[in-house]
């Protein structure tokens, strides 16, 4: 038996997950009591539902003594709910455990054994991503931007389930960013990291829409990469090159009546050319303002310093 105090975090984002929690805890407890000297289960209730009579009815007291229930006053994004559990974790190691692996409680022990090889963070890696070809293209582009325009290391097939050592968790909790993208946070923290490959595919959460995913990706790109700044530079260079081309073409027509393509033109000012030129630069200006607004919005969000979550109560069932 490992003489280690382990914290296991389970985030409940859907009422259906709450109904399955007793069976999940029974399976986890059976595995934990055989492998660890002490442990705790931190249930982060990220729903509007209250009253967990199922825990009292279906769990014996020797299991309930390991369970702590954190009711958030109102549902928040899953990353902030995970942070609520991480803030409360007291273990030498902390495991974020997804409900999708409830039938494989032995994975916690496997993660711990892998961590004993000298790794502070060990995550589960899917062997493939289960999604439509359109979403696969979206994910491929998103992770390409993250890798190309940041110094961080990302695994596009990483599950949220992972084990974190105490020292890595202490460093992670120092990063109190309001705009949180957890994969980026893990990468910023650093420390030796490894993974275990599992057959469970990575797929989008049912309650998460494409719009929410798009906003998350935009948040990650604008907060953790230089992509938009590089894009703004290229837009400026292209618009400047286009300006030079237009000026040279105008001068050539003015003095030779032939443009750069070899076409003959009368030396008469044309409304079409002027309207096109103004339209192009107006569109570029609007795009630049939009990109700048993303950064200003991020700064605004950070300056407000709103709490990432509010715990309504902490109680033992």
Answer yes or no: do 29 and 89 share one domain: yes
Answer yes or no: do 46 and 191 share one domain: yes
Q: Comparing 75-84, 115-124, 271-280, which segment has the lowest mean pLDDT?
A: 271-280
Assigned domain for 29 exists: yes
Answer yes or no: do 134 and 32 share one domain: yes
Answer yes or no: do 115 and 233 share one domain: no
Read off the CATH number of the domain in which 119 is found: 3.90.550.10
Q: What is the pLDDT of residues 169-187, one digit of tens each?
A: 988 888 877 667 788 888 8
Q: Comparing 2-16, 60-74, 83-97, 209-223, which segment has the lowest mean pLDDT?
A: 209-223
Confidence of residue 86 (pLDDT cuts 50, 70, 90): very high
Average pLDDT over residues 20-33: 85
What per-residue confidence (pLDDT) applies to 288? 81
pTM score? 0.76
Percent of the chain past pLDDT 90, that is, above it, reads 12
Assigned domain for 220 exists: no
Answer yes or no: do 94 and 235 share one domain: no
Assigned domain for 159 exists: yes
Assigned domain for 262 exists: yes
Domain boundaries, position 263: 227-304
Confidence of residue 9 (pLDDT cuts 50, 70, 90): very high
Average pLDDT over residues 293-307: 71
Tell me: pLDDT of 24 over 80. Answer: yes
Distance (Å) of CA 45 to CA 10, 32, 294, 303:
9, 22, 31, 28
Confidence of residue 122 (pLDDT cuts 50, 70, 90): very high
| Comparison of pLDDT for 231 and 7, the residue scoring more | 7
């Amino acid at each position: 038996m490992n003489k280690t105090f382990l914290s296991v975090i389970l985030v409940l984002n859907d009422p259906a997950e709450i109904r399955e929690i007793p069976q999940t805890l029974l399976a986890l407890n059976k595995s934990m009591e055989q492998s660890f000297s002490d442990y705790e289960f931190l249930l982060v209730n990220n729903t509007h539902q209250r009253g967990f009579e199922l825990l009292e009815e279906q769990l014996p007291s020797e299991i309930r003594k390991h369970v702590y229930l954190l009711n958030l006053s109102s549902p928040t994004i899953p990353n902030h709910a995970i942070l609520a559990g991480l803030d409360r974790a007291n273990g030498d190691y902390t495991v974020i455990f997804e409900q999708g692996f409830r039938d494989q409680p032995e994975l916690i022990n496997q993660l711990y054994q892998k961590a004993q090889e000298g790794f502070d963070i060990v995550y589960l890696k899917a062997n493939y991503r289960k999604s439509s070809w359109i979403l696969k293209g979206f994910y491929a582009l998103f992770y390409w931007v993250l890798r190309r325009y940041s110094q961080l290391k990302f695994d596009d097939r990483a599950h949220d389930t992972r084990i974190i050592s105490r020292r890595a968790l202490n460093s992670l909790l120092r990063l109190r960013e309001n705009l949180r993208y957890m994969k980026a946070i893990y990468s910023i923290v650093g420390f030796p990291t490894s993974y275990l490959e599992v057959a469970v595919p990575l797929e989008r959460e049912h309650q998460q829409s494409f719009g929410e995913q798009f906003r998350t990706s935009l948040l990650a790109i604008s907060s953790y990469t230089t992509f938009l700044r590089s894009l703004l530079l290229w837009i400026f260079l292209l618009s400047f090159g286009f300006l030079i081309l237009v000026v040279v073409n105008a001068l050539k027509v003015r003095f030779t009546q032939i443009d750069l393509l070899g076409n003959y033109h009368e030396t008469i000012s044309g409304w079409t050319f002027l309207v096109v030129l103004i339209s192009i630069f107006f569109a570029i200006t609007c795009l630049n303002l939009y990109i700048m607004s993303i950064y200003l919005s991020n700064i605004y969000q950070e300056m407000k310093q709103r709490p990432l979550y509010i715990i309504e109560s902490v109680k033992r069932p």
